Amino acid sequence: MNDLFIELLQISLGNRDNLSRTPSMNEWTGLFKEAQRQAIIGVLLTGIEKLPKEQKPKKKLLLQWIALCQVVEQNNRLHLERARELTVLFNDDGFRSCVLKGIGISQLYPNPLRRQCGDIDLWVCGDRKSIMHNLCSHYTIGVVRWHHVDVHFFDDVQTEIHFNATWLFNPQHNKVLQTFLNSRMYDEMAEREIGFGYPTESFNAIYSLVHSFHHLLESGIGYRHIIDYYYIVKHLQKQDRDDVLAIIKGIGLNHFLQAMMFVLHEVCGMPQNELLYQPDDKEGRFLLKEIFDAGNFGHQRRDKKMRQNSFKRLYVMTKHYPSEMLWMIPWKLWHVGWRMTNKV
């Protein structure tokens, strides 16, 4: 079934024409469940639509698949509207902003409405105290962290307001990362024709890699993260690649990038000449195992001993990414102190 899943994914991405064989009904049920687990129902429906009639699932399952995809599409229409409303709201208060991940990155997909989104992450340019004062005056505030705060704007969409786009545990790497993020913040927040701003591909080639890396280290990384990066690399301009690689090496994520390239090539079917960097088989196979085991956000992890914050997970991840993992606990202790002294 795993081979069929990969084949269907490659068909969905336009890198394969059909399945190597017709799946049984049980196999199609397994493919459907894994698509749900990986939060890529909409993406894989595109592949099913491309299949010859004799290879498609039976009508009952196909209709169920289509129905779930319609829910994804409707949810994305709602996210689009809410993202526009948030942009206007912050613009009116004098704050420039852009949407990270989610509905922003979906704009790189051939059919943006089929990329399953969760909440809205809005990166806001401005002084933290001014932003927080404005939010506390009008809205219900949730958990406050160094890089973002949960804010209740809508009953139907969860929202995080970011003061910092992301971070790394290693202080040296984080310094390079923050310098890059701060240098690009204002320009990345230019409003687009769609009604809100979202980052460029050269920015996302770094930001999305760091975001996926955090999911790998802590909760779990799934195929949705991989497909996001596939389309980022696909859209990345050749003239931007050297600069992107220089930053990635500067933040110490070149080995993780090599693992991602392995998955993009072996699983997604991206041609070797389109890859951003040379793949690494060993790290790539480890990443692929994590993707299959964890699923989207690791919520349905198969290996329970590798759950978030478990000793086994810390041990395994330290073997693969020691420069970050050895700084994780010091960073989290600092963050506890930061939250205690920065209450709303």
Residue 306: the pLDDT is: 56
Residue (of 205, 225, 207) closest to 298 by Cα position: 225
Residues 6+ away with beta carbon under 8 Å from 339: 144, 145, 146
Q: CA 188, 246, 100: angle at the middle one, nearest 5?
A: 25
Residue (of 301, 299, 279) closest to 290 by Cα position: 301
Strands (E) across the chain are located at: 96-100, 120-125, 140-144, 148-152, 159-162
Residue 300: the pLDDT is: 59
Residues 6+ away with beta carbon under 8 Å from 25: 57, 58, 61
Residue 19: the pLDDT is: 96
- With 0.95 as the threshold, say if the pTM is over it: no
**Per-residue tens of pLDDT for the chain, all 344 residues:** 489 999 999 999 999 999 999 999 999 999 999 999 999 999 999 999 999 999 999 999 999 999 999 999 999 999 999 999 999 999 999 999 999 999 999 999 999 999 999 899 999 998 899 999 999 999 999 989 999 999 999 999 999 999 999 999 999 999 999 999 999 999 999 989 999 999 999 999 999 999 999 999 887 899 999 999 999 999 999 999 999 999 999 999 999 999 999 999 999 999 999 999 999 999 999 999 989 887 665 555 655 555 656 678 888 889 999 999 999 999 999 999 988 887 65
Place of tokens 């469940």: 33
Residue 2: the pLDDT is: 83
At position 83, the amino acid (one-letter code) is A
